[in-house]
Structure 1
Amino acid sequence: MRTFVLHSFNSFKRKIENFSLIQLQPMLNFNSTRAMSQSTSIPKKQQRVRDHGYDNYMEIEKKTRKVLKLQNLILTEPSQSLPVARLETLAKRVGFTRRHETGAFILKFPHVFEIFEHPVQRVLFCRLTRQAIHQIEQERHALAAQVPLAVTRLRKLLMMSSTQRLRLEHVRIARAALGLPDDFEFSVVLRYPQFFRLVDANETRNKYIELVERDPSLAICAIEKTRERVYREKGVDAEDVRFSFVINFPPGFKIGKYLKIAVWKWQRVPYWSPYDDVSGYDLRSIEAQKRMEKRAVATIHELLSMTVEKKITLERIAHFRMAMHLPKKLKEFLLQHQGIFYISTRGNQGKLHTVFLREAYRKGELVEPNDLYLARRRLAELVLISPRKAKVDRELVGYKRSRLDDEMGQVRRECVEDVYEDFKGEDDMGRDKDGEDDLSSDIGSDVDSDISDEDDEFDDSVSIQRTP
């Protein structure tokens, strides 16, 4: 008994001494080469810190997602317009459950949706504005222009899979994030048989996209290019940059001394590339597990780098978990690396988790935007314009039209008076003058009729806007 007590006391004494030694260690920067503590892993349970820049981004996308659902309902009609009452009924299928919710939602975005009275049926119809149609065409052209890039993205995505194949359904769910067209099965997969092949094509649910041949020139990660640029620009130590990632913690994130040391050590841990085949390695050792954990970070980093907006939902990443050897608890795993990724729960009442690549954004915008991203952001700009701005624009247009009417009438009166003064008292020329008056009156009536028609539409739209 006495021996057991002495042994317990000695072990407790050693723990106190070790703790005091750790507490007295000075703060170490990442470039130091002094001996670190024995802890080499980042703590698994970390407090999540919100970054309002990304959350505000998702709040805007929540509105644009609803707008897109209504746009698709309208565009499916041959006339590309729908009665408001029928649109209320169809909108229940896409999540508008409350009564008159659709009508109130449409009136909030007059730069996207336009309400008019049907000339025959005399009921209210809804259609897209010219700005919204132009944005759709711009996005369609950008998507068609990015087909070669989409082919490369799909090839790299298949190369990251352990079996060089992915389910067609999983790729279809993530097609918008990857910049693939809706008919990518025909326009991309079947159009390029030298790169892809469909397996088990008899059943739609069991279809797989398989890579025909690997291309070593594509097996270069985006983070490797970033490391090379940092090494050339800043001239840091090559050993510090060789396996490191760009880390930018969110504002308000408290990084302590021990976490800083753990991150420094984690940055130097070597790992296998997401494009490497790890089936021949023994993954039971602790060192192999550390490499696989860091490989999972590199895989998600590469997957986000291939997306159009450098973001994708966590649920879509989970579809590729088995094929890419990702951990089961993805959310907890990503929260360990809040300096690399950011998880936003905004945008769908907390049901979806959107993962952002932090290094790709600056002040809420992409550092390197592309045409497809800019086209999608154009819709967000139309959504954010205030309805009051739309009323002011229409009033200005009406003012310009009324001024045009006055100017045209004044010009016609001046022309008639000048002609009358020059040719007064001459019968033959008077008859010619009458003919000219008839011609000018015909032209004037055409102009007046066109402007009056436009003014009628303008008055109807203004009255509709003021009715609610």
Structure 2
Amino acid sequence: MLSISRRHVKTLASSYIDLTYSTQKRTYVDVYMKWKKDSYFDNIEHILRSSQLKSVIGLKNCIAEDPNRCIPISSISKKTRQFDVSTKIAQFLRQFPSIFEEFVGPEYNLPWFRLTPEATELDRQERLVYQNSAEDLRDRLRKLILMSKDNVLPLSIVQGMKWYLGLPDDYLQSPEMNLDSSFRFVDMEDGVKGLAVEYNGDKVLSVLQKNTMKKRGREGGEVNYSEIEFPLFPSKGCRLRVKIEDWLKEFQKLPYVSPYDDYSCLDPSSDVAEKRVVGFLHELLCLFVEHSAERKKLLCLKKYFGLPQKVHKAFERHPQIFYLSMKNKTCTAILREPYRDKASVETHPVLGVRKKYIQLMKNSELILKSRRNSFGFSKEGIIEKDLDLEFES
């Protein structure tokens, strides 16, 4: 059983914050804030297509990892839940002819699928990215774990954040990732397996802290935490109520508590505790590939990161820091800063290759459109069969 004292692995927040009544009180004005739609954030392509892309890459990996580099539909037809596909697997694969190539297999006259040459080349590029960016990916995983209460997370939580962090499917055994000795597997409560990080005492700085130091022209050294404010990027035409604006000005002046520091001395209902939660969400989304995540997927983090029961309200109370997109029948929380100030947050190394997969998905739409336009007729006007519709799983 793992037992780590937070006192020894985290820098105490009280060591640099004067926890007087002024910082421990709750002053939030509960005034209704109208949600303002922003077409820019609603139409970021790699966020819009993220869910579907996740299924595409999962199926791509299944084919690429097969010794024969091809699979019969029978081997995956019952795995719709595993790949998060709402239709038949065969139907889903046929939506992307620029990625998946269908052919009649050697057994039972069943449809088989293999990767197209373009998808095979992109898979090679993707593996190269994982290899060349292994240190960056390990660092993102390490930071996620270091933000937790005891520097340890259940493997199930890490698995749930894998897509957002940009980790390969086999990140635990991947030779590219090659988890170093700072990571170790541990037993947590109730027999849960966890992944822990050994804290070496070096101070971990958040993106906000690093950017503050850069702006003040002093690389390295201590940051005056009381001076750190969140960059605000309001949507065009969005105006807050006067009471909210006044509260926000005071909120910005509160001490900043890094998500990597101990927060046990904070009153959970205080404004400074809320600033710590907002800082945690800011840093978390900075680590993610698309700087966004489905809001409901973040709710499972509450227990392990000391988040309040209604942590989702933080996104709503700070519309100039986060944007909530309601596209694709879900609520996606997006960090505004990386999209409004591209130099402030480092681009995730996996984002580029994901955009290339999205381009192949768009190419598939053109192929299918072309097929529909010419479907059923040859130059002589003779009806032909569409072999893609001949097989069903």
User: In structure 2, what is the equivalent of residue 152 of structure 1?
Assistant: 139
1:161 has 2:148 as partner = yes
User: In structure 2, what is the equivalent of residue 438 of structure 1?
Assistant: none
Alpha-carbon contact 1:45-1:336 (below 8 Å) kept: no
Query: SS where residue 323 of structure 2 aligns?
Result: strand
Alpha-carbon distance, 1:47 to partner: 2.8
Give the distance between the partners of 1:95 and 1:307, measured in 2 at CA: 20
User: In structure 1, what is the equivalent of residue 202 of structure 2?
Assistant: 216
User: In structure 1, what is the equivalent of residue 172 of structure 2?
Assistant: 185
From 338, 342, 359, the equivalent of 1:360 is 338
Superposition pairs for residues 194-205 of structure 1, below 5 Å?
A: 195-200=182-187
Summarize the Cα distance change of 1:261–1:304 in structure 2 as closer, same or farther, 3 Å threshold.
same
Give the distance between the partners of 2:240 and 2:323, measured in 1 at CA: 16
Alpha-carbon distance, 1:249 to partner: 1.9
Alpha-carbon distance, 1:375 to partner: 0.7
From 119, 122, 125, the equivalent of 1:135 is 122
Runs (5+) with no aligned partner, structure 2:
1-25, 218-222, 372-383
Give the distance between the partners of 1:261 and 1:108, measured in 2 at CA: 51
1:114 has 2:101 as partner = yes
Give the distance between the partners of 1:313 and 1:466, measured in 2 at CA: 34
Summarize the Cα distance change of 1:77–1:163 in structure 2 as closer, same or farther, 3 Å threshold.
closer
Summarize the Cα distance change of 1:462–1:142 in structure 2 as closer, same or farther, 3 Å threshold.
farther
Alpha-carbon distance, 1:465 to partner: 6.7
Per-residue CA shift, 1:176-212, capped at 9, x if unaligned? 322333344345998422x2332228x9951223332
From 46, 70, 74, the equivalent of 1:81 is 70
Give the distance between the partners of 1:317 and 1:120, measured in 2 at CA: 44
Query: SS where residue 215 of structure 1 aligns?
Result: coil
User: In structure 1, what is the equivalent of residue 193 of structure 2?
Assistant: 207
Q: Which has the higher contact order (CA 8 A, sep 6+)?
A: 2
Alpha-carbon contact 2:33-2:240 (below 8 Å) kept: no
Query: How many correspondences in the alignment?
Result: 347
User: In structure 2, what is the equivalent of residue 50 of structure 1?
Assistant: 37
Alpha-carbon distance, 1:122 to partner: 5.9
Give the distance between the partners of 1:133 and 1:365, measured in 2 at CA: 32
Alpha-carbon distance, 1:261 to partner: 2.3
Give the distance between the partners of 1:124 and 1:141, measured in 2 at CA: 31
Per-residue CA shift, 1:109-152, capped at 9, x if unaligned? 22112223458876543322111122222222212222212332
Give the distance between the partners of 2:142 and 2:225, measured in 1 at CA: 31
Alpha-carbon distance, 1:368 to partner: 4.5
Alpha-carbon contact 1:75-1:81 (below 8 Å) kept: yes
Alpha-carbon contact 1:240-1:267 (below 8 Å) kept: no
Summarize the Cα distance change of 1:120–1:105 in structure 2 as closer, same or farther, 3 Å threshold.
closer
From 34, 59, 71, the equivalent of 1:70 is 59
1:253 has 2:241 as partner = no
Q: Determine what percentage of the aligned residue pairs are the same residue.
A: 26
Alpha-carbon distance, 1:293 to partner: 1.0
Give the distance between the partners of 2:82 and 2:173, measured in 1 at CA: 28
Amino acid of the structure 1 residue aligned with 2:339: Y
Give the distance between the partners of 2:67 and 2:336, measured in 1 at CA: 43
Give the distance between the partners of 1:187 and 1:466, measured in 2 at CA: 38
Summarize the Cα distance change of 1:387–1:226 in structure 2 as closer, same or farther, 3 Å threshold.
same
Give the distance between the partners of 2:266 and 2:71, measured in 1 at CA: 62
Superposition pairs for residues 454-465 of structure 1, below 5 Å?
A: 464=387
1:346 has 2:335 as partner = no
Structure number, greater radius of gyration: 1
Query: SS where residue 157 of structure 2 aligns?
Result: helix
Alpha-carbon contact 1:54-1:364 (below 8 Å) kept: no
Per-residue CA shift, 1:212-243, capped at 9, x if unaligned? 233334x21101222344456xxxxx999922
Amino acid of the structure 2 residue aligned with 1:113: F
User: In structure 2, what is the equivalent of residue 432 of structure 1?
Assistant: none
1:59 has 2:48 as partner = yes
Give the distance between the partners of 2:224 and 2:196, measured in 1 at CA: 37
Query: SS where residue 114 of structure 1 aligns?
Result: strand
Summarize the Cα distance change of 1:81–1:389 in structure 2 as closer, same or farther, 3 Å threshold.
same
Summarize the Cα distance change of 1:231–1:462 in structure 2 as closer, same or farther, 3 Å threshold.
farther
Query: SS where residue 312 of structure 2 aligns?
Result: helix
Alpha-carbon contact 1:115-1:127 (below 8 Å) kept: yes
Query: SS where residue 115 of structure 1 aligns?
Result: strand
* TM-score relative to the length of structure 1: 0.62
Alpha-carbon distance, 1:173 to partner: 1.8
Amino acid of the structure 2 residue aligned with 1:212: E
Amino acid of the structure 2 residue aligned with 1:270: P
Alpha-carbon distance, 1:76 to partner: 5.4
Alpha-carbon contact 1:341-1:356 (below 8 Å) kept: yes
Give the distance between the partners of 2:358 and 2:283, measured in 1 at CA: 26
Give the distance between the partners of 1:102 and 1:124, measured in 2 at CA: 12
Give the distance between the partners of 1:172 and 1:130, measured in 2 at CA: 30
- Alignment root-mean-square deviation, CA: 4.0
Runs (5+) with no aligned partner, structure 1:
1-38, 233-237, 394-460
User: In structure 2, what is the equivalent of residue 267 of structure 1?
Assistant: 252
Give the distance between the partners of 1:169 and 1:303, measured in 2 at CA: 17
Give the distance between the partners of 1:305 and 1:144, measured in 2 at CA: 21
Amino acid of the structure 2 residue aligned with 1:377: K
Most deviating of 119-128 and 371-380: 119-128
Per-residue CA shift, 1:225-279, capped at 9, x if unaligned? 22344456xxxxx999922111112344332333322222211122322222233
* TM-score relative to the length of structure 2: 0.73
